[in-house]
Amino acid sequence: MHVLSADQFSKSELMKLFKLASEFRELDSTEQGRKTLFEKHSARQLCSLFYEPSTRTRLSFETAALKLGMGVVSTENARDFSSASKGEILEDTIRVLDEYNFDAIVLRHHETGSAVQAASVSSTPIINAGDGKGEHPTQSLLDMMTIFESHGRCDNLKIVIGGDLKHGRTARSLALMLSKFDGNQITFISNNELQIGDDILSALKDNNVKFQKTSDMTKPFIDADIVYWTRLQTERLDGLEASIDNFTITTDIADSTPDGCIIMHPLPRVSEIHQDVDANHRAKYFRQAGNGLYMRMALLDSILTESSA
Ligand code: NCD
């Protein structure tokens, strides 16, 4: 019932969500379709509880809920504007929201493990919208949808994931979700202090996913099907002096990838992908963000349908 980790989704659940999300995109493109969507979940309510800044995740979840006819209650800076600033622990806040009988609570929080903590005291479905350096499972859902949309499959792909992989939760969740499919090969590009965590690598090993860690900014791109880039997570460095300036996607690098390769980024992009890459046909990050709306509609719909079954 709760959505806490990318690891919890099976291959068949993912395929169902991709299909539903594209159906919702189609429906959203016509007046009649919009009405059909709007009638789906009226008299249902979503609570959107964000302790950390967000543009896409919060707005797409809230828009998704509204398009499905739901009501939305939202706090966008709960760290300062909720009782957390008075010292209330997350569990108590969740216990109270649970009393209000929402149909789902979307939670973004700065502490790793916070979503699991919240779920432990909640009978309302908790959706992890990013927990510190932990995970961001709904981002990986829309990432995988974007991969499926452009390649027609999520298996037997060569994926290059780069940037700040130590503190970035999207790369971690994506790697876990890719490991559900056979034959994927992942190359993690970063410097040593910002490389992907051993917990993710051991999950990949358990699933027989081939991977390598490198700082090479040339060879891995030559036969890549997907390049997934991330920003330096400056708010999570805890005093670590780190930089990813040597890991920037330029037009030359973009052009060195195969023609069918796609370049992805969870956004916000800072300077790790040059803006002139945006005009390259491989750049898919804005479409990817758009997929977030339809994937979150699909996710909410499946949670609500399941809970009323
Ligand atoms: C990501 C996040 O919050 O982890 N943003 C998002 O949800 N698209 C990536 C980031 O902030 O770098």
Dihedral (CA of 266, 129, 150, 29) sign:
negative
Residue 84 has a pLDDT of 85
- The verdict on the CB of residue 231 being under 6 Å from ligand 1 is yes
| 84 Cα: distance to centroid of ligand 1 (angstroms) | 22
168-206: per-residue pLDDT in tens? 999 999 999 999 999 999 999 999 999 999 999 999 999
Helix, strand, or coil (residue 60): helix
What backbone phi and psi angles, to 5 degrees, belong to 111? Answer: -100, 135
Q: Which helix (H) or strand (E) holds 127?
A: strand 126-131
Ligand 1 atom 7: residue of nearest CA: 57
Ligand 1 atom 11: residue of nearest CA: 268
Residue 131 has a pLDDT of 98
For residue 77, pLDDT beyond 90: no
Confidence of residue 306 (pLDDT cuts 50, 70, 90): confident
Residues 6+ apart with CB under 8 A from 280: 251, 254, 255, 263
User: Which of 221, 230, 305, 207 lies closest to 255, judged by CA?
Assistant: 221
277-305: per-residue pLDDT in tens? 999 999 999 999 999 999 999 999 999 99
| 174 Cα: distance to centroid of ligand 1 (angstroms) | 12
- The verdict on the CB of residue 169 being under 6 Å from ligand 1 is yes
Range of weakest confidence among 36-40, 112-116, 147-151, 236-240: 236-240
| 199 Cα: distance to centroid of ligand 1 (angstroms) | 20
42-71: per-residue pLDDT in tens? 999 999 999 999 999 999 999 999 999 999
For residue 95, pLDDT beyond 90: yes
Q: Is 56 a catalytic site residue? A: yes
Residue 85 has a pLDDT of 85
Residue among 136, 165, 284 to mutate when testing ligand 1 (max atoms within 8 A of CB): 136
Q: Is 86 a catalytic site residue? A: yes
Percent of the chain clearing pLDDT 90 (strictly above): 95
Q: Is 287 a catalytic site residue? A: no
Q: Which helix (H) or strand (E) holds 109?
A: strand 104-109
Ligand 1 atom 8: residue of nearest CA: 266
Q: Whole-angstrom Cα distance, residue 263 to residue 249?
A: 9
Residue 307 has a pLDDT of 81
Confidence of residue 268 (pLDDT cuts 50, 70, 90): very high
Q: Spot the catalytic one: 2, 67, 108, 109.
A: 108
State the chain's mean pLDDT as an integer: 97
| 128 Cα: distance to centroid of ligand 1 (angstroms) | 12
For residue 81, pLDDT beyond 90: no
Q: What is this structure's pTM? A: 0.97
Residue 83 has a pLDDT of 84
Residue 130 has a pLDDT of 98
For residue 309, pLDDT beyond 80: no
Q: Is 75 a catalytic site residue? A: no
Q: Is 133 a catalytic site residue? A: no
